[in-house]
Chain A
Amino acid sequence: MFVKDMMNRPEKFSIYWKQFVRELDNFGYGSLGIVALVSTFMGAVITIQTVYNLFNPLIPLSAVGIVARDSIILEFSPTMISLVLAGKIGSSIASEIGTMRVTEQIDALEIMGINSAAYLVLPKVVAAVLIFPFVVTISMFLGIFGGWIAGTASGVIPSVDYIQGLQNQFIPYNVTFAIIKSITFAYIITTVSSYHGYHTKGGALEVGKSSTDAVVYSSIMILIFDYILTQLILI
C-alpha cells in the first residue's frame, strides 16, 4: 500500500528532480567519508587475517590476493557497507520523515494536494538505487587498496604476490552480483526506513524509536536478502 502510494505520478517533475539531486548528494557524497574509512580498514584486516590463516608453504602467497578480492567483492563491500549505510542513511531518513510527521509537515503537504509518500520517498528510493552501486564499487577499490597497503607495509605479503592474486581467476560476474545486491539493499534501506518514519505517531520519543526500528529492520532484511540472493544467483 505504502509502496503503491509512493509510485504515483509526480505532481511536478521539476520539484521531484530537485529532491532527487539533493538525495543523490546526501546518499553519495555524504556517505563517502564513512565508506572510505570502513572499506580501507576492512580490506586491511581481511588481508592480514587471510595471511595469518593461510600461512602454509604449500599455498602460494598470491592466494591471499584471491581470497581478499573475492571476500571484498562478494560480501564485505555490498553487505557490510549496506549495513553501515542502513545505520547512517536509514536512521536519517526515518528521523527526517518522522519529525515531519509529528510536526504536521506531512499533513501540510497532504492539505496542499501533494502525494506526501511519493514526494518524500520516491526521490530517496530512486537516488539510493542509482548511487549505491557506485558507492559499493568505490568501496571495493578502497578495500582492495587497503589490503595492499596493509599487506605490503607490514611486510606480510609482497606487493607482486598480492597483485598477482588479484588478477588470478577473476570472475567479472562477481562484480555484477555485488551490484545486484547493492541495488536490492538500497531499495530495502530507503523503503523500510521511510515506512517507519512515515508511520510515526507521537513525539520526539517515538521519532527516536522509529529511527532505531528503521535501522534494526533494514539490517535484518539486508541479511535475509543477502542469503536469498546468494542462494538464487550465485549457486
Chain B
Amino acid sequence: MIELKKISKRFESRNILSDVSATFQKGHINLVIGGSGSGKTVMMKCMVGLEEIDEGEIIYDGQRFSGLTKKERKPYRQQIGMVFQGGALFDSLNVEQNVMFPLSMFTEMSLEEKRDRVNFCLKRVNLPTAQKLMPSELSGGMKKRVAIARAIATNPNYLFCDEPNSGLDPRTSIVIDNLIKEITEEFNITTIVNTHDMNSVLEIGDKIIFLYQGSKWWEGNVDDILRTDNKEINDFIFASKLAKGIKKV
C-alpha cells in the first residue's frame, strides 16, 4: 500500500501539486486520471522519487519514502517497476537483454536462471518469441508489453504505469489494460496507472482519483464515476457526444 499525505510540488513559482492525499491499495489497480497538465506525471515521478516533493509525505507500506537519500531508497527501488509512456526500452539492447537487465544488475542468478525468468515474463505479456528483436523493430503495443515484462522481471511490489495506452489503437489498449489487471491480481502488486483513456477508466479502474489543476478533485470507483454529478469530472470523462449518451443510459 502507498499513502500520500498532503504532498505539494512546485516548479519555481508554479504550483503543480497542492495538498494531494491518497491511498493506493495492494492488489488493486489505482487509476489517476486528469487532463493534460493536471499533474499526473509529476505526481507519479514524486511517488517513485524521480522528483522530490516540497511538502507532505509519501509512505510505502508504513515506511516513509519521501526525504530518504538515494542510498536509503535503494531497497525500495528494487521493489518498484515502472512502465513509461514511450516504453523507455534501452535502444542498444535487444528484448531479451532489456528484460534481463535488472536481473543482471541486482541478482546473482545464473544465465540459465535469468533466461528462464525472461522467457516467463515475455510469455506472460504474450511475446514468447520476441527475444532477439531490437526495440526499433517493435510496434508501439509490443514496446509497452516488453516494458511491462521488464517492470515485472524482479517481482516488484509496486508497479507504476504512466499512460500505458497513449499512442495505441483501442484494441491494443484493451490488451495492455487487461494485462496490467491480470498481473496486478496474479502477483498481488500495488499498481498505479496514469491515464486519460476512458476505456481504461471503465474497464480496469478499481479505484479512481481525478486530478484537476494539481489538486485531488474527486475519488471513487467505476460505479461512482457513472453516477457523479461533479462538473469537472463529467466534462473530462464524458467529453464526447457518444460518452454523454452512455452516461444518460
Contacts and interface: CB of A to CB of B under 8 A. Distances in A.
Nearest to B104: A15
B105 A111 contact: no
B73 A113 contact: yes
Given A15-B104, A99-B91, A104 B84 contact: yes
A12 interface: yes
B84 A110 contact: no
Interface centre among B50, B77, B105 (most CB of A within 10 A): B105
Interface residues of A, number: 17
A97 to B, nearest CB: 12
B105 A105 contact: no
Given A108-B88, A112-B77, A11 B50 contact: no
Nearest to A10: B105
Contacts of B101: 112
Contact of A104 (B49, B73, B85, B106): B85
Contacts, number: 51
Interface residues of B, number: 23
A108 B91 CA distance: 12
Given A11-B105, A12-B104, A12-B105, A108 B77 contact: no
Contacts of B74: 113
A199 B85 CA distance: 20
Contacts of A108: 82, 84, 88, 90
A25 interface: no
Given A111-B80, A112-B102, A112-B105, A105 B50 contact: no
Interface of A: 11-12, 14-15, 99-100, 103-105, 107-108, 110-115
Interface of B: 45, 48-50, 70, 73-74, 77-78, 80, 82, 84-86, 88-91, 101-102, 104-106
In the A-B complex, the 6 residue pairs with the closest CB atoms: A113-B77, A104-B88, A108-B88, A104-B84, A111-B82, A113-B74
